[in-house]
Amino acid sequence: MTEIEQQKRIASYLAAFAHLLGGKPGRFTEFRDKVDIMLSGSAPNAFGLMQFASRVQTTGRPLLWVHQPAECPTVPQIGLVAQMGGGMHYIESCMLCLTGEDDRATLVPDGFNLGAYRFDHKLNLKHITEAPASTFEAADGDMVRAYNRLIAIQAEQWERGDTFDLPHLAQAA
């Protein structure tokens, strides 16, 4: 695969990710303007997330750190840095959950005891005090639905021949 083909695949994946979190297709540019999204070769970690704190404070945009592990690339590891309520939120591991009636996925920290994060219709990140499920087992169906939807969105984009530009942080990573 050439570097250009690889960049197209990465951009398509990030656009599918943005569609799943934003609830609608065709908003990738708007999502990129409101959220820093980074596809990384390494899993999110606390020290790495803290290095983005000043950027998040300066821009006011949350940062999503996405890593596709080789052993299971269809289930990304997601880290989050966001400024909310006067403080910084650092989450090393979030899962995607998509309930049956929802148009967008929710980011749920893996302990299920820190609430959840969701983008509203204007693509502003909101913290929800209650996670959509209280345990991994209870969230299993919603997580499977979210990851299957992510795969389906990307496949639909490829079939249509959609092309996307890489976000700045994806180009740098």
Which residue type sits at 63?
L
pLDDT, tens digit, for every residue of 83-116? 998 899 999 999 999 998 899 999 999 989 999 9
pLDDT, tens digit, for every residue of 16-60? 999 999 998 889 999 999 999 988 889 999 999 999 999 999 999
Residue extents of the structural domains in the chain: 3-172
Distance, in Å, from the CA atom of 148 to the CA atom of 143, rounded to the nearest integer, reads 8
Dihedral Cα 110, 116, 120, 123, nearest 10 deg: -40
What is the pLDDT at residue 164? Answer: 86
Check pLDDT > 80 for residue 173.
no
Mean pLDDT of 116-134: 95
Distance, in Å, from the CA atom of 15 to the CA atom of 28, rounded to the nearest integer, reads 5
How far are the Cα atoms of 87, 137, 148 from residue 73, in angstroms, in the given order?
Answer: 32, 21, 12
Parallel/antiparallel/unpaired status of strands 116-119 and 125-128: antiparallel
pLDDT, tens digit, for every residue of 57-90? 999 999 999 998 889 888 999 999 999 988 999 9
Mean pLDDT of 132-136: 92
47: left (phi over 0), alpha (psi -120 to 50) or beta: alpha
Check pLDDT > 60 for residue 169.
no
